[in-house]
Amino acid sequence: MKLIPHSMPLLGAAEERAAVAALRSGYLSEGPRVEAFERAVARTLGRSGAVAASSGTGALVLALHALQAGRGDEVVIPSYVCSALLDAVNAVGASPVVVDVDEADLNISPAEVARAVGRKTRAVIVPHIFGNPAAARQIAALGVPVIEDLAQCVKAERGGRAVGAVGRCAVLSFYATKLLTTGYGGMLVSSDRRLLARARDLRAFDNRDAYEPRPHVALSELAAAVGLVQWRRLDAFIRRRRALARRYDCVAGDFAVRPIGRGVYYRYLIRAPQGAEKAIRAFRKLGVEAKRPVHLPLHRYVRLSPGRFPVTEKAFRAVVSVPLYPALTEPQVRRILSALKKVVRR
């Protein structure tokens, strides 16, 4: 039995034609396709401008630099998230302040953020994790600059507000397993013209009269060509994800981790009654690759006491992500549903 992979991008003839056209155009570094991609993303998210980057982490680094985060500053981040946030904060020389998450949807906890914010706080990074919109407006009300992380969540809503509309800026990722892909890639979006200008200046790493260290994070024309096609397909991708999630819900029942608001189901998560490790092994025996949605919580990387992060620790022990993406075929979906039913019933 061939294992159904946990993640798989959906690429087709349109992406291939766009990539070939980019190669034949004579532009390989930044050019008209990068600019068109930036305009399309900014327009859709209701922001005045965007700055493309070579990765989501690169976009976060640009955002932190543009907010003047550096040595002596603190940046608040959640523990139950990938290590890219830790990398970005460390890259600008700031200190990460790691906080716990909410039990309901596993997003960063506004109450924990409020306790962590102090006079050294330069920014709070608010990931809308796993496609679940976070309480960004509540966190922004604390008066600290918010960077919304849309790497796993675009076109979702919470409390009548679209994700990406609250923070000083937002960042996206176009890695191979994300909602849409350029292979690697990312973007910063904002309506703060000074912030955008600073980010663009930092990205332009050559032909400057004065030297300062700059991250080399420009996006290529080839990646942007694929990204433009994928961006146009995003609505269809999200409809497919939501349709699959409705079918999964019928089987997972109360074991499912559901979004607060209207999510986009980047991941479909269950709280496995037998624990994550046993559930992952059970899924594999049934031909389905399931994974922990976070490889290791950030508080463990920086060696903070697990007792300070009870919700994250509980999620790490129990939460499992099962395959849900537009490239799944109907026979694969039926096999996942069958496996999900068996694992949950155990």
Task: Return the percentage of the chain with pLDDT > 70, whole number.
Answer: 100
Closest alpha carbon to 181 in 2, 5, 15, 13: 15
One-letter amino acid at 258 equals R
Q: Please report the pLDDT score of residue 209 as a whole number.
A: 78
* CATH class of the domain at 13-228: alpha beta
Tokens 């922990």 correspond to: 292
Whether residue 206 has pLDDT greater than 80: no
Q: Please report the pLDDT score of residue 196 as a whole number.
A: 98
Tens digits of residue pLDDT in 101-139: 999 999 999 999 999 999 999 999 999 999 999 999 999
Mean pLDDT of 26-43: 93
CATH code 3.90.1150.10 region(s) in the chain: 234-345
Helix (H, G, I), strand (E, B) or coil at 316: helix
| pLDDT tier, 210 (very low <50, low <70, confident <90, very high otherwise) | confident
Q: Please report the pLDDT score of residue 205 as a whole number.
A: 77
Residue 344: both structure tokens together: 């949950």
Tokens 């990646």 correspond to: 223
Are 336 and 307 in contact by the 8 Å Cβ rule? The answer is: no
Between CA 313 and CA 147 the distance in angstroms is 25
* CATH class of the domain at 234-345: alpha beta
Whether residue 295 has pLDDT greater than 90: yes
Sign of torsion over alpha carbons 88, 91, 97, 100: positive
Whether residue 341 has pLDDT greater than 80: yes
Beta pairing partners, 81: none
CATH code 3.40.640.10 region(s) in the chain: 13-228
Mean pLDDT of 233-253: 98
Are 145 and 168 in contact by the 8 Å Cβ rule? The answer is: yes
